[in-house]
Amino acid sequence: MAEIGVRRTREGFARLITFADAVVAIALTLLVLPLTDLANEGAENAGFTSFVAENYPVMLSFAISFAVIWVLWRNHHRIMEHFVAYDDVLAKLHLVWLATIIVLPFATALLDNSRMQWSNVFYIAVLGVSIISLRGIARWGIAHPALLDDDADTRAWAAQPSDYGTLIAVAAALIVAIVVPQADAWPLLLLLLSSPIDALINRFRH
């Protein structure tokens, strides 16, 4: 019996994007649940300022992870704006990326536990895999133009040089977290250097 080919329609592509957006929304919701538990377990007649003072590490982790997931989703959205179709490889790359998104709330909970060693290393490693999978999605589309929209904006996007600044910054943060495990989430601040690193690389290219 002849094998039936797998249909890949525009509706299927739209469902892939919708599913990705839903997973991101669930991950963002999971982030706030520990804060809700803390609020319910708070002492009676405790003031808001004392609650914040006592739980600021958890609140800081929430803010960092919310911003991280938002940036990852924004970059995914910007990349997928240039796609009009998908294939099996693109779907599998999304599987990897979405796995990192849904694991980030768990990594955040580990980061909140001061007794958990290497939790920052795990968090940064998950973030690194997420960024690499996003780059893989973009590079796969550029290597397979049939998946992309055929317009001037997409051609300009595909012609842009690869940005290595974020990967270098994540690698540096991971090294710092391994060497100084007591650094907690502070190595993530190195991600702010991604744009200057890209600018420096582009300067050497020219």
Q: Using one digit for the tens of pLDDT, what is the confidence trace for 154-206?
A: 999 999 877 788 888 889 989 998 898 888 778 888 888 888 888 887 777 66
Task: Say which range, 42-46, 67-71, 94-98, has the weakest mean pLDDT.
Answer: 42-46
* Mean pLDDT across 94-107: 95
Supply the pLDDT for residue 114: 60
Which pTM does this prediction carry? 0.84
Work out the pLDDT band at 45, boundaries 50, 70, 90. low
pLDDT interval class at 36 (50, 70, 90): confident
Q: Which long-range contacts (CB under 8 A, 24 or more apart) does 63-71 make?
A: 64/108, 64/185, 64/188, 65/31, 65/104, 65/105, 65/107, 65/108, 66/28, 66/31, 68/104, 68/127, 68/188, 69/24, 69/27, 69/28, 69/31, 69/101, 69/104, 70/28
* 50 pLDDT above the threshold of 80: no
pLDDT grade for 3, boundaries at 50, 70 and 90: very low
**CA 84 to CA 87: how far, in whole Å?**
11
User: pLDDT tens digit string along 85-99?
Assistant: 999 999 999 999 999
CA distance 50 to 113: 20
pLDDT in tens, 114-157: 666 788 899 999 999 999 999 999 999 999 999 999 999 999 99
- pLDDT of residue 11 exceeding 60, the answer is yes
The 10 Å Cβ neighbour count of residue 10 is: 10
Query: What does the pLDDT read at residue 1?
Result: 41
Question: Can you spell out the DSSP letters for 88-105?
Answer: HHHHHHHHHHHHHHHHHH
Instruction: Supply angle C-alpha 8, 77, 184, rounded to 5.
Output: 125
> In the prediction, which pLDDT does 64 show?
85
Q: How many CB atoms lie within 10 A of CB 28?
A: 17
Provide the pLDDT confidence category of residue 40 given band limits of 50, 70 and 90: confident
